[in-house]
Structure 1
Amino acid sequence: MTSRFWPRWAATVAAVAAVGVAAGCSGSGDGDGGEGASGGDQTVTFWTPQTTPERLAAQEEIAEAFTAESGIEVEVVPMAGADQDQALATGAASGDVPDVILHASTQTSAWNSQGLLDVEASSAAVDSLGADTFNQHALEAVTVDGSTAAVPSDGWIHVVAYRADLLEEAGVDAPTSVDELAAAATTVKEELGITGMALGTQAGTASATEGIQSIFQSSGCELATDGDVTIDSPECARAAENFLELRNSSTAGDFDVLSARAAYMNGDAAMLLFSTHILDELAGLDEATPATCAECADDPAFLAENTEFVTVLDETNPAQYGAILSYGVPTGANTEAAQQYIEYVLGEGYVDTLGVATEGRIPLRNGTPENPTEFIDAWGELGIGPGQERTSVELYGEEFVDDMSAGINAVYLWGMGTDDAALAGLVSSQGVLANQIEPLYSGADPEEVTAAMEQAVSEVQAGL
């Protein structure tokens, strides 16, 4: 499906947010569940960042099925993440909030610190569904001060897609660490004359911000630990060295999101760091992003047939960069109905929920107490791409689902579940590391670069 590799929330527009507050908030406005809790007609107002027409229609169908079973009406309101931030703050001030919000894990920490989330309601939903059935890293991401501030739903991860045929031709094995990845990329360039690894490296951009974090995390580098900034550690310096080698394996200069994907889709790169949104595009299932390699004209599925994936870059220290979406219950919401809705979309309606955008919505609830892998197994049988014509199992095999399960269970973001989360969020949103990466490209020693990163991060920390 056509999507941005690294989704980033757009800048908030206050006027748009105000419209969202007026049109999409709960009328109950009390923590006891309002009118519905006392036996009247219950309703749920649900804000979702899945806003395309087809995704919105799919979510509305799920809401209708919930209403048919529970009698609780659901209003599905499309609202991008940045607009959610402003609209929730405005609604909280006026006592008019939605009942459930699907949102990113970075928002969980921020909203909870502002007292905008009903932690008891989310914790109750997790307890009811069974904490052991969830992805434990995802639970850590939404755990604040020992309490579950939101309920993990689904997410995506970075994977390394690689042309098995081209790596074999270059005489290199599939990489199992960042060190091996960098070495393989260099060998491919030297042996085949094409880009070894395509990834976002343009200094000062969002592409580089998340490319850096992905490679650094998988190298055992931590941004901060227990309040101490550690981006200047030996592990981080080694990560910077490998990032430079990966960047230099390009035969086409620095990439952004679109050009990195295009290089792989055109057969000009042997490896690609991308999100799981690439799965349908490799198979020629998205007309908006066609495969353009020479062989693809006769066989649109050529890339899928010749692509394999690394879903965990370092199995000894699994820390796969990705995104985590969770359901939050705002303070003052109709908690009784909200909890019922969350338990439905993560239970009976979960597979349909994942099918809203399969390649980008990998389950963070792995299964049930009776069947621990029920949902990850079901995910592999869901259609991918706009037409949902084929499943990932059909395209990539049964083993791929197991590999993807390992990958999503290794999902990690710097600072998640700790007091360093706020710092990590600001460093990412402000592009601090990407703004410090240019000297590395100009010959600066990696240790000097990570020392400059440490100083820049410490300045952000001082402003908290």
Structure 2
Amino acid sequence: MTQRFRPRLAASIAAVAAVTLLAGCTGGQAEEQAADQSVTFWTPQTTPERLAAQEAVAAAFTAETGIDVEVVPMAGADQDQALVTGAASGNVPDVILHTSTQAGAWTSQGLLDTAAASAVVATLGQETFNERAIDAVTLDGEIAAVPSDGWTHVIAYRADLLEEAGVDVPTSLSELADAAATVKDTLGITGMAFGTQAGTASATEGIQSLFQSAGCELVVDGEVLIDSAECTDAAEEFLTLRNSSVAGDFDVTSARAAYMNGDAAMLLFSTHILDELAGLDSATPPTCSECAATPTFLADHTQFITVLDEDNPAQFGAMLSYGIPTGANVEAAQKYIEYAMSTGYVDTLGVATEGRIPLRNGTADDPTEFLSAWGGLGIGPGQKMTSVELYGEDFSTAIEEGINAVSLWGMGTDDATLAGLVSSQGVLAGQIEQLYSGTSAADVTAAMRAAVEEVQAGL
């Protein structure tokens, strides 16, 4: 890792030598050949340590292939405008790490070379990928991008507190709501902490996460279904869960703080919580009364629900994929993605292990190679311990079940655009205050439907 910049230097020297040997060629030919040996890669993983890790993977690729890689940190929100502008001027990157929502939008605009991405998946073996991840990036029958990694929502729970309250581990949304209410009534602490503040992004995630785990669909084949019986039942359970708080409504930060302080028995959060529970992130240390003497107290007493309802496995999460823009240096881009998804894959996942669960499970020879390797990677900023060391051997299997159940409303269908707008605009979270104010769940989901249809009418 400490030598990650040497291959770039070697590549630069080689490039200079090549120019000397080709002195008789025209300037245009030399520039074309140089371009063929380079890749510009946009990544939303922008923190210094994550950027350094990605540059190390890129440097190893350069050392192996002679193809130089420029790693450009760029937040997802900035990628959209930059790609449109670049496409208009004919200056696009060669590879972009992006979300499944972006894949749909960019494909509809003709900004992604879907044939190039499909070829990479075929080369690596489509059967080696997470099936739902492939579905998420399959548009009009063609794979638009190469699934890389993602994170899921999990329900972290204090096994000791659930036992003290006399409740079993929930296996459905209704059981979860009952358990949270019982904890509050029995122990006088919050049953489940999660984002419930009306109109916020955390409430948007909470609604989708919990509603879809009860079989609620937002829209199917253009028909808005958020007022279905399943969704109305989910809204009632959502209210019970929200009312299990003894501290009012939470946003994502305060929900985490409640669990970290020992004031909540359960927490709905992303897999990014894994290192924090063990005291491995100094920026977010555990603050429970027992944690001062035993920093791993919460990790020692926490277990996880990675799929709430096994009969309806639908976990909220996010997926990142590699896209090749239209007009990119296709051959070099394909080589880089193939490397990042094979030889360099484990190192790529290690960029931020707790938030980068593999979407390529393994290889044809070893179908679970990458999932197994993930459990042995260090988590947290210092990567001092692995998730298996903290949470046991069965944890990797549970995470595999969770990531294989990742689902987003509209994912991989023509409804993805509407679902994406409803999410980004916080449409459902804007309606949830009515539920808190005593309006019936049926009336609230009817209002949600009207709000969604208003967005739909504007498409």
TM-score, scaled to structure 2: 0.93
Paired residue secondary structure (1:47)? strand
Q: How far is the alpha carbon of 1:38 from its aligned partner?
A: 6.1
1:447 aligns with 2:442: yes
- The separation in 1 between residues aligned to 2:328 and 2:34, in whole angstroms, is 16
Paired residue secondary structure (1:300)? coil
> What letter matches 2:53 in structure 1?
A
2:3 corresponds to: none
Q: How far is the alpha carbon of 1:117 from its aligned partner?
A: 0.1
- The separation in 2 between residues aligned to 1:140 and 1:456, in whole angstroms, is 27
Could you tell me which of 183, 200, 203 is aligned with 2:198?
Answer: 203
2:25 corresponds to: none
Paired residue secondary structure (1:221)? coil
1:109 corresponds to: 104
Q: How far is the alpha carbon of 1:228 from its aligned partner?
A: 0.3
Q: Deviations over 1:259-309 (max 9, x none)?
A: 000000000000000000000000000111000000001000000000000
- The separation in 1 between residues aligned to 2:173 and 2:239, in whole angstroms, is 12
Could you tell me which of 148, 168, 172 is aligned with 2:143?
Answer: 148
What are the within-5 Å matches in structure 2 for residues 289-438 of structure 1? 289-438=284-433
Q: How far is the alpha carbon of 1:248 from its aligned partner?
A: 0.2
What are the within-5 Å matches in structure 2 for residues 88-103 of structure 1? 88-103=83-98
2:129 corresponds to: 134
- For these two proteins, the number of residue pairs brought into alignment is 431
- The separation in 2 between residues aligned to 1:37 and 1:356, in whole angstroms, is 33
Q: Deviations over 1:13-68 (max 9, x none)?
A: xxxxxxxxxxxxxxxxxxxxx97986875100000000000000000000000000
2:118 corresponds to: 123
Contact 2:36/2:329 (CA < 8 Å) preserved in 1?
no
CA 1:194–1:114 in structure 2 vs 1: closer, same or farther (change >3 Å)? same
Paired residue secondary structure (2:249)? coil
Q: Deviations over 1:375-430 (max 9, x none)?
A: 00000000000000000000000101000000000001000110000000000000
Q: Deviations over 1:139-158 (max 9, x none)?
A: 11100000000000000000
Paired residue secondary structure (1:320)? coil
- The separation in 2 between residues aligned to 1:207 and 1:441, in whole angstroms, is 16
- The separation in 1 between residues aligned to 2:181 and 2:257, in whole angstroms, is 20
> What letter matches 1:406 in structure 2?
E
Paired residue secondary structure (2:303)? strand
Ranges in structure 1 where 5+ consecutive residues have no aligned partner:
1-33
What are the within-5 Å matches in structure 2 for residues 157-196 of structure 1? 157-196=152-191
2:217 corresponds to: 222
- The separation in 2 between residues aligned to 1:89 and 1:173, in whole angstroms, is 51
> What letter matches 1:453 in structure 2?
M
1:26 corresponds to: none
- The separation in 1 between residues aligned to 2:164 and 2:32, in whole angstroms, is 66
Contact 2:36/2:332 (CA < 8 Å) preserved in 1?
no
What are the within-5 Å matches in structure 2 for residues 5-16 of structure 1? none
> What letter matches 1:109 in structure 2?
G
2:63 corresponds to: 68
Q: How far is the alpha carbon of 1:106 from its aligned partner?
A: 0.5
CA 1:315–1:68 in structure 2 vs 1: closer, same or farther (change >3 Å)? same
1:251 aligns with 2:246: yes
Contact 2:173/2:308 (CA < 8 Å) preserved in 1?
yes
Contact 2:155/2:269 (CA < 8 Å) preserved in 1?
yes
2:38 corresponds to: 43
Contact 1:37/1:334 (CA < 8 Å) preserved in 2?
no
TM-score, scaled to structure 1: 0.92
Moved over 4 A (4+): 34-41
Contact 2:149/2:321 (CA < 8 Å) preserved in 1?
yes
Ranges in structure 2 where 5+ consecutive residues have no aligned partner:
1-28
Q: Deviations over 1:195-248 (max 9, x none)?
A: 000000000111101110100111100000001000000000001001000000
**How high is the sequence identity, in percent, across the aligned residues?**
76
> What letter matches 1:93 in structure 2?
A
- The separation in 1 between residues aligned to 2:55 and 2:315, in whole angstroms, is 32
Paired residue secondary structure (2:316)? strand
1:279 aligns with 2:286: no
2:5 corresponds to: none
CA 1:114–1:192 in structure 2 vs 1: closer, same or farther (change >3 Å)? same
- The separation in 1 between residues aligned to 2:404 and 2:36, in whole angstroms, is 39
2:264 corresponds to: 269
RMSD: 1.1
Paired residue secondary structure (1:106)? helix
Paired residue secondary structure (2:321)? strand
> What letter matches 2:415 in structure 1?
D
- The separation in 2 between residues aligned to 1:161 and 1:389, in whole angstroms, is 21
Paired residue secondary structure (1:412)? coil
> What letter matches 1:458 in structure 2?
E
- The separation in 2 between residues aligned to 1:147 and 1:431, in whole angstroms, is 30
- The separation in 2 between residues aligned to 1:103 and 1:327, in whole angstroms, is 6
- The separation in 2 between residues aligned to 1:280 and 1:238, in whole angstroms, is 34
- The separation in 1 between residues aligned to 2:337 and 2:424, in whole angstroms, is 29
CA 1:82–1:237 in structure 2 vs 1: closer, same or farther (change >3 Å)? same
